[in-house]
Amino acid sequence: MSKSADIAEKYPGPRTPSPLSQSIRFNFEEKLGKYPHKVEAALRGDLESALSVVYLDVNTDICNHNCTFCDGFHRPLSRAVISTERILELIDEMEELGVLAVVLAGDRGEPLMHPGIARVLDRFARSPIQLGMYTNGSILPPRLVKAVGSMAWIRVSADAGTAQTHRKMHAYTHQRDDFATLQKTLRALTDTVPDVGVSFILDPLNVHEIRQAADILLSAGAHFIEYKPKYLPNYTVDTEFLADHAEIIEKSITVAQQNWGPRVVLNNQISGLLDGQEEPRLERDPRPCLTSALRMVVSSHGCYSCTPYRGESERRFGDVLTQSLRTILRGQRRVELVGRPCTRRCAYDAQNDFLIDLATTGRTLPVSLSSARPQDAFI
C-alpha cells in the first residue's frame, strides 16, 4: 500500500473537501474583477464607496489561550469589548455603505468570547454582508453551530499535530484538552461552512509536527492547512529560525503536499523561502497603498488602515465608539493615510501593484465571469 493510501485509510478526511484552490482563495487581484465599482471608487479616492472589507476586532485582550506567537503580545493592550449594541449599529452602517464582507476577530482576543456573540451572529445571518472568522476552535458551543454555519469561511488557529505541543503553543492549563476539542469543532463545521481552514505558525516547538498536523487536521474536517511564519515586532519574522530549519520545513511540507495535494497551502513568505530566497522579504520600496482604500481594521482602540498596521499609533484613525463609520471615512486622517507611502510587503502587495498599474496606465479592469465562490467578497 502506498504512503498516500495508508494515510487516506487512517485519516479518511472530510466528507465534503473544499472545491477552492490556493489560487482562488488568495488571488486578490482576480477577485477585483467581481467588483469593478469598488475598484473604480478606490481609484478616484471615494473612500466611502470603496470600503469593501472590515476586520472587526470585537474584543481586545480577552481570550482563553495565551498563544506564544500572538502579535498582540508585542503591544500594550487594555481589555475591552465593543458593546453588542454598537456592533449591531455598525452592521447597519456597513450595509448602508455597501461593505461586502466582514472578518470577525479579536486583537489578542477570541471573538466567540464576546458576551453578545449570539446576537451578532444572528444579525449577520440576516445581512447581505459575507462573514468570515478567526478563532482558536476550542469554545464553539452547540447552540452557535447553526449560526456559525452561515459564514463564508472560518480559520482555526491550530499550530500543532499533538495535544502536548498545542498546549505549549497556545499556553493553557494541563486540565484541558483543547486540541481534541478543536478537532471536534472541525468535524462539526466541515459540512456546513463552505471553507474551513486551519493555520500552522512555524515555531521551534512545532516544526517537527508539520506532516502530522496535516494528517490529523485535514482528516478531522479542515478543508486546507496553511503554513505561516511567526511574526515579530515591527512586522518582521524570525529569519534565523526559518533559515536554520529550512531543510526540515521543506521536506515535511513536500511530503504533506504529496499526501494532500492543494489542501496544503503555503504563506507567500514560506513559499519564497522554499524557492531559494535567503530570507522572507517583508519590506520593499515605498509606494502608494491604493488597496488600503478597500479595507480597514475596526477595534476598541481605534481604526487602522490594514492588519499589518493594527495597533500602530501613526496608522490609527477614528473611533467607532464615538463616531459613525461614514464620519470616520470622511475624516482628513483617513484620506491622509490612504495616500501615505507604504514599505511593507503584505498579503495584498500584488493587488496593490495591480491597482497602481490600473491607475497609471488607464488599463481596463478585466471583469471576472466565474461563478460565485465563498471567498469572492473578501477582496
pLDDT, position 222: 97
**pLDDT mean over 107-124:** 97
Helix (H) or strand (E) holding 249: helix 246-260
- In the chain, the number of structural domains is 1
Render pLDDT for 232-263 as a digit per residue (tens, 0 to 9): 888 888 888 888 898 999 999 999 999 999 99
Residue 54 lies in a domain: yes
Render pLDDT for 164-186 as a digit per residue (tens, 0 to 9): 999 999 999 888 999 999 999 99
Half-sphere exposure of 221 (CA within 13 A, CB side): 20
The number of beta carbons lying within 10 Å of the beta carbon of residue 115 is 13
Q: Which residue has the higher pLDDT, 208 or 367?
A: 208
Q: Which three cell numbers, joined as nine digits, stand for 188?
A: 462539526
Residue 310 lies in a domain: yes
Residue 40 lies in a domain: no
The residue assigned the cell 479592469 is: 365
Render pLDDT for 117-132 as a digit per residue (tens, 0 to 9): 999 999 999 999 999 9
Residue 296 lies in a domain: yes
Q: What is the pTM of this model?
A: 0.91
pLDDT, position 3: 37
pLDDT, position 277: 62
Q: Which three cell numbers, joined as nine digits, stand for 245?
A: 530549519
Position 27 pLDDT exceeds 90: no
Do the Cβ atoms of 375 and 24 come closer than 8 Å? yes
Position 293 pLDDT exceeds 90: yes
Position 1 pLDDT exceeds 50: no
Render pLDDT for 312-322 as a digit per residue (tens, 0 to 9): 999 999 999 99
Residue range(s) defining the domain that contains residue 301: 47-349
Nearest to 241 by CA among 209, 282, 201, 212: 201
Do the Cβ atoms of 138 and 154 come closer than 8 Å? no
Q: What is the CATH number of the domain that holds 59?
A: 3.20.20.70
Nearest to 293 by CA among 342, 343, 233: 342
* Dist. CA 2–CA 209, nearest whole Å: 21
Residue 132 lies in a domain: yes
Residue 287 lies in a domain: yes
pLDDT, position 17: 43
Q: What one-letter code names the amino acid at 215?
A: D
Residue 371 lies in a domain: no
Residue 280 lies in a domain: yes
* Dist. CA 297–CA 307, nearest whole Å: 6
